[in-house]
Amino acid sequence: MQTTEQLNTPRIEILPGFEWDRQDAYLFDIDGTLLRSRDRTHMDSIAASVREVTGFEITLEGVSVHGNTDTGILREACLRAGIPADVLKREVEAILEAMGQNVADHRDDLNLYLMPGVQPALRHLAHHGALLGVATGNLETIGWIKLEVAGLRQWFRFGGFSDHFPVRAEMVGNAARKARELAGPAATVCVVGDTPRDISAAHDNGLPVIVVATGHFGFDALAEHKPEVCASSLADLVATTEAAQ
Protein backbone atom coordinates (compact mmCIF):
# COMPACT_ATOMS: atom_id res chain seq x y z
CA MET A 1 0.00 0.00 0.00
CA GLN A 2 1.29 3.45 -0.89
CA THR A 3 1.88 5.94 1.89
CA THR A 4 0.30 9.39 1.84
CA GLU A 5 3.71 10.83 1.03
CA GLN A 6 4.08 8.52 -1.98
CA LEU A 7 0.60 9.34 -3.24
CA ASN A 8 1.40 13.07 -3.04
CA THR A 9 4.80 12.75 -4.73
CA PRO A 10 4.78 14.12 -8.30
CA ARG A 11 5.41 11.42 -10.90
CA ILE A 12 6.34 12.20 -14.47
CA GLU A 13 7.45 9.86 -17.25
CA ILE A 14 8.23 11.36 -20.66
CA LEU A 15 9.31 9.39 -23.71
CA PRO A 16 12.90 10.46 -24.51
CA GLY A 17 12.95 13.09 -27.22
CA PHE A 18 9.28 14.00 -26.93
CA GLU A 19 8.71 17.70 -26.20
CA TRP A 20 5.33 17.69 -24.51
CA ASP A 21 4.82 21.46 -24.68
CA ARG A 22 6.08 22.09 -28.22
CA GLN A 23 3.34 20.44 -30.28
CA ASP A 24 1.32 22.57 -32.70
CA ALA A 25 -2.13 21.56 -31.45
CA TYR A 26 -3.64 19.78 -28.45
CA LEU A 27 -6.89 17.86 -28.10
CA PHE A 28 -8.06 17.86 -24.48
CA ASP A 29 -10.46 15.36 -23.00
CA ILE A 30 -12.87 17.02 -20.55
CA ASP A 31 -14.02 14.69 -17.76
CA GLY A 32 -11.18 13.60 -15.49
CA THR A 33 -8.63 15.62 -17.47
CA LEU A 34 -9.86 19.21 -17.27
CA LEU A 35 -12.60 18.87 -14.67
CA ARG A 36 -14.79 16.54 -12.66
CA SER A 37 -18.41 16.71 -11.52
CA ARG A 38 -19.83 16.42 -8.03
CA ASP A 39 -23.31 16.03 -9.50
CA ARG A 40 -25.01 13.53 -11.81
CA THR A 41 -26.72 16.00 -14.14
CA HIS A 42 -24.91 14.70 -17.22
CA MET A 43 -25.24 10.98 -16.53
CA ASP A 44 -28.85 11.26 -15.37
CA SER A 45 -29.74 13.00 -18.63
CA ILE A 46 -29.17 9.76 -20.54
CA ALA A 47 -31.86 7.67 -18.85
CA ALA A 48 -34.20 10.65 -18.60
CA SER A 49 -33.92 11.34 -22.32
CA VAL A 50 -34.46 7.70 -23.32
CA ARG A 51 -37.57 7.62 -21.14
CA GLU A 52 -38.83 10.92 -22.57
CA VAL A 53 -38.36 9.92 -26.21
CA THR A 54 -39.10 6.18 -26.21
CA GLY A 55 -40.84 5.36 -22.93
CA PHE A 56 -38.23 2.69 -22.18
CA GLU A 57 -36.34 2.57 -18.88
CA ILE A 58 -32.56 2.10 -18.87
CA THR A 59 -29.84 2.07 -16.25
CA LEU A 60 -26.11 2.73 -16.49
CA GLU A 61 -25.37 -0.02 -13.99
CA GLY A 62 -22.73 -2.30 -15.48
CA VAL A 63 -21.98 0.10 -18.34
CA SER A 64 -18.35 1.15 -18.74
CA VAL A 65 -18.36 4.96 -18.65
CA HIS A 66 -14.72 5.93 -18.04
CA GLY A 67 -13.19 6.89 -21.36
CA ASN A 68 -16.39 5.97 -23.18
CA THR A 69 -18.49 8.32 -25.32
CA ASP A 70 -22.02 9.57 -24.65
CA THR A 71 -23.22 7.81 -27.78
CA GLY A 72 -21.35 4.65 -26.84
CA ILE A 73 -22.80 4.68 -23.31
CA LEU A 74 -26.29 5.26 -24.71
CA ARG A 75 -26.02 2.35 -27.15
CA GLU A 76 -24.64 -0.04 -24.53
CA ALA A 77 -27.29 0.90 -21.95
CA CYS A 78 -30.07 0.47 -24.51
CA LEU A 79 -28.70 -2.91 -25.58
CA ARG A 80 -28.63 -4.07 -21.95
CA ALA A 81 -32.19 -2.84 -21.48
CA GLY A 82 -33.39 -4.84 -24.47
CA ILE A 83 -34.50 -1.85 -26.50
CA PRO A 84 -34.99 -3.01 -30.11
CA ALA A 85 -32.23 -1.89 -32.46
CA ASP A 86 -34.73 -0.39 -34.91
CA VAL A 87 -36.23 1.76 -32.14
CA LEU A 88 -32.83 3.14 -31.15
CA LYS A 89 -31.85 3.76 -34.78
CA ARG A 90 -35.09 5.65 -35.38
CA GLU A 91 -34.95 7.69 -32.17
CA VAL A 92 -31.24 8.19 -31.48
CA GLU A 93 -31.07 11.75 -32.84
CA ALA A 94 -34.07 12.76 -30.75
CA ILE A 95 -32.53 11.15 -27.67
CA LEU A 96 -29.22 12.96 -28.18
CA GLU A 97 -31.01 16.27 -28.67
CA ALA A 98 -33.00 15.66 -25.50
CA MET A 99 -29.80 14.90 -23.56
CA GLY A 100 -28.27 18.21 -24.58
CA GLN A 101 -31.45 20.10 -23.76
CA ASN A 102 -31.73 18.33 -20.40
CA VAL A 103 -28.24 19.43 -19.37
CA ALA A 104 -28.84 22.94 -20.71
CA ASP A 105 -32.03 23.19 -18.65
CA HIS A 106 -30.15 22.06 -15.53
CA ARG A 107 -26.83 23.83 -16.07
CA ASP A 108 -27.27 25.64 -12.74
CA ASP A 109 -27.17 22.23 -11.06
CA LEU A 110 -23.72 21.44 -12.47
CA ASN A 111 -21.18 21.27 -9.65
CA LEU A 112 -17.84 21.17 -11.44
CA TYR A 113 -14.31 21.56 -10.18
CA LEU A 114 -11.06 21.87 -12.11
CA MET A 115 -8.27 19.33 -12.00
CA PRO A 116 -4.96 20.54 -10.54
CA GLY A 117 -2.96 22.79 -12.84
CA VAL A 118 -5.48 23.10 -15.65
CA GLN A 119 -5.35 26.87 -16.03
CA PRO A 120 -1.52 27.06 -15.75
CA ALA A 121 -1.14 24.23 -18.28
CA LEU A 122 -3.47 25.87 -20.80
CA ARG A 123 -1.73 29.20 -20.27
CA HIS A 124 1.68 27.56 -20.71
CA LEU A 125 0.71 25.90 -24.00
CA ALA A 126 -1.03 29.02 -25.33
CA HIS A 127 2.09 31.05 -24.47
CA HIS A 128 4.04 28.76 -26.79
CA GLY A 129 1.53 29.41 -29.59
CA ALA A 130 -0.31 26.09 -29.49
CA LEU A 131 -3.80 25.66 -30.92
CA LEU A 132 -6.08 24.30 -28.20
CA GLY A 133 -9.14 22.16 -28.83
CA VAL A 134 -11.15 19.47 -27.10
CA ALA A 135 -11.68 15.82 -28.05
CA THR A 136 -14.27 14.49 -25.67
CA GLY A 137 -16.81 11.73 -25.31
CA ASN A 138 -19.36 14.41 -24.38
CA LEU A 139 -22.00 15.52 -26.85
CA GLU A 140 -21.15 18.92 -28.30
CA THR A 141 -23.87 20.83 -26.45
CA ILE A 142 -22.91 19.22 -23.13
CA GLY A 143 -19.17 19.64 -23.61
CA TRP A 144 -19.35 23.34 -24.33
CA ILE A 145 -21.76 23.90 -21.43
CA LYS A 146 -19.33 22.23 -19.03
CA LEU A 147 -16.42 24.34 -20.27
CA GLU A 148 -18.49 27.52 -20.00
CA VAL A 149 -19.63 26.73 -16.44
CA ALA A 150 -16.08 25.81 -15.42
CA GLY A 151 -14.64 29.06 -16.86
CA LEU A 152 -12.52 27.33 -19.52
CA ARG A 153 -14.39 28.07 -22.75
CA GLN A 154 -12.12 30.94 -23.80
CA TRP A 155 -9.10 28.67 -24.21
CA PHE A 156 -10.55 26.44 -26.92
CA ARG A 157 -11.02 27.31 -30.60
CA PHE A 158 -12.66 24.08 -31.76
CA GLY A 159 -13.82 20.71 -30.56
CA GLY A 160 -14.36 17.08 -31.44
CA PHE A 161 -17.41 15.46 -29.85
CA SER A 162 -19.21 12.14 -29.83
CA ASP A 163 -22.52 13.17 -31.44
CA HIS A 164 -21.72 11.13 -34.56
CA PHE A 165 -18.82 9.04 -33.22
CA PRO A 166 -19.66 6.27 -30.73
CA VAL A 167 -16.09 4.96 -31.10
CA ARG A 168 -13.56 7.20 -29.37
CA ALA A 169 -10.79 6.63 -31.93
CA GLU A 170 -13.07 7.89 -34.71
CA MET A 171 -13.98 10.97 -32.67
CA VAL A 172 -10.28 11.73 -32.03
CA GLY A 173 -9.47 11.24 -35.72
CA ASN A 174 -12.17 13.72 -36.64
CA ALA A 175 -10.88 16.24 -34.09
CA ALA A 176 -7.33 15.84 -35.42
CA ARG A 177 -8.54 16.63 -38.94
CA LYS A 178 -10.18 19.80 -37.63
CA ALA A 179 -6.93 20.76 -35.86
CA ARG A 180 -4.95 20.42 -39.08
CA GLU A 181 -7.52 22.42 -41.01
CA LEU A 182 -6.78 25.28 -38.60
CA ALA A 183 -3.08 24.78 -37.88
CA GLY A 184 -1.92 23.41 -41.22
CA PRO A 185 -1.74 19.95 -42.79
CA ALA A 186 1.68 19.23 -41.30
CA ALA A 187 0.75 20.32 -37.76
CA THR A 188 1.74 18.04 -34.91
CA VAL A 189 -1.34 17.12 -32.87
CA CYS A 190 -1.25 15.73 -29.33
CA VAL A 191 -4.10 14.19 -27.33
CA VAL A 192 -4.43 14.93 -23.60
CA GLY A 193 -6.53 12.54 -21.52
CA ASP A 194 -6.85 10.44 -18.39
CA THR A 195 -7.84 6.91 -19.43
CA PRO A 196 -6.39 3.96 -21.35
CA ARG A 197 -9.03 4.63 -24.01
CA ASP A 198 -7.52 8.08 -24.60
CA ILE A 199 -4.16 6.41 -25.15
CA SER A 200 -5.44 3.80 -27.57
CA ALA A 201 -7.58 6.34 -29.46
CA ALA A 202 -4.55 8.61 -29.91
CA HIS A 203 -2.21 5.82 -30.97
CA ASP A 204 -4.83 4.36 -33.34
CA ASN A 205 -4.63 7.70 -35.15
CA GLY A 206 -0.84 7.90 -35.03
CA LEU A 207 -0.94 10.72 -32.46
CA PRO A 208 1.13 11.17 -29.29
CA VAL A 209 -0.71 11.37 -26.00
CA ILE A 210 -0.27 12.96 -22.59
CA VAL A 211 -2.21 11.24 -19.80
CA VAL A 212 -2.77 12.45 -16.27
CA ALA A 213 -3.76 10.38 -13.25
CA THR A 214 -6.49 12.78 -12.16
CA GLY A 215 -9.44 10.65 -13.24
CA HIS A 216 -10.44 7.07 -12.47
CA PHE A 217 -7.08 5.47 -13.35
CA GLY A 218 -3.87 5.65 -11.33
CA PHE A 219 -0.41 6.49 -12.64
CA ASP A 220 0.86 2.91 -12.91
CA ALA A 221 -2.28 1.69 -14.68
CA LEU A 222 -1.89 4.44 -17.28
CA ALA A 223 1.87 4.02 -17.70
CA GLU A 224 1.36 0.37 -18.68
CA HIS A 225 -0.21 1.55 -21.94
CA LYS A 226 2.95 3.41 -23.01
CA PRO A 227 1.77 7.00 -23.50
CA GLU A 228 4.34 9.55 -24.63
CA VAL A 229 3.80 11.34 -21.31
CA CYS A 230 2.35 10.03 -18.07
CA ALA A 231 1.96 12.54 -15.24
CA SER A 232 0.38 12.52 -11.81
CA SER A 233 -1.33 15.80 -12.78
CA LEU A 234 -1.05 18.72 -15.17
CA ALA A 235 0.10 20.79 -12.22
CA ASP A 236 3.02 18.44 -11.60
CA LEU A 237 3.89 18.31 -15.31
CA VAL A 238 4.03 22.11 -15.65
CA ALA A 239 5.89 22.56 -12.35
CA THR A 240 8.51 19.96 -13.26
CA THR A 241 9.02 21.56 -16.67
CA GLU A 242 9.34 25.08 -15.30
CA ALA A 243 11.76 23.92 -12.59
CA ALA A 244 14.01 22.39 -15.25
CA GLN A 245 14.20 25.61 -17.28
- pLDDT at res. 7: 53
Nearest to 110 by CA among 46, 44, 40, 60: 40
Quote the mean pLDDT of the chain. Answer: 95
> Which residues on adjacent β-strands are paired with residue 37?
112
- pLDDT at res. 4: 38
- pLDDT at res. 242: 79
- pLDDT at res. 9: 85
Q: Which CATH superfamily is domain 11-38+112-244 in?
A: HAD superfamily/HAD-like (3.40.50.1000)
Q: Per-residue pLDDT averaged across 20-37, rounded?
A: 98
**What type of residue is 103?**
V
- pLDDT at res. 244: 74
Parse the chain into domains and list their residue ranges. Answer: 11-38+112-244, 41-109
Q: Per-residue pLDDT averaged across 159-185, rounded?
A: 97
pLDDT, one tens digit per residue, over 62-88 is 999 999 999 999 999 999 999 999 999
pLDDT, one tens digit per residue, over 140-167 is 999 999 999 999 999 999 999 999 999 9
pTM: 0.94
Split at pLDDT 50, 70, 90, the class of 230 is very high
- pLDDT at res. 243: 76
